[in-house]
Amino acid sequence: MIKKDAKEALRLIANALKNPRLRPDDGDQLRKAQRELEIMARSGKIERRRLFRAVQIISRILRNLL
């Protein structure tokens, strides 16, 4: 995974965690997605399952916020 892309995604997740409309469980789920992306960023390899899991979590939370 390109470090620049990973840093941007992690920055956006950190900003989303500051959103007051998030439910407590949503924050936990976002942290889980954040960990998945951090693991991929450290290894430098994109793992489809980890990436899909992170995107799925983020999408579910955004859908619930709208």
pLDDT tens string 9-63: 899 999 999 989 988 899 999 999 999 999 988 888 888 998 999 999 999 998 9
Long-range contacts from 42-49, C-beta under 8 angstroms, 24+ separation:
43/1, 44/1, 44/3, 45/1, 46/1
Task: Provide the whole-model pTM.
Answer: 0.83
Per-residue tokens: 44: 């430098």
Domain count within the chain: 1
pLDDT for 61: 92
- The Cβ of residue 33 has, within 10 Å, a number of other Cβ atoms equal to 23
- Residue 54: closest CA among 23, 12, 24, 20: 12
Domain range for 59: 3-65
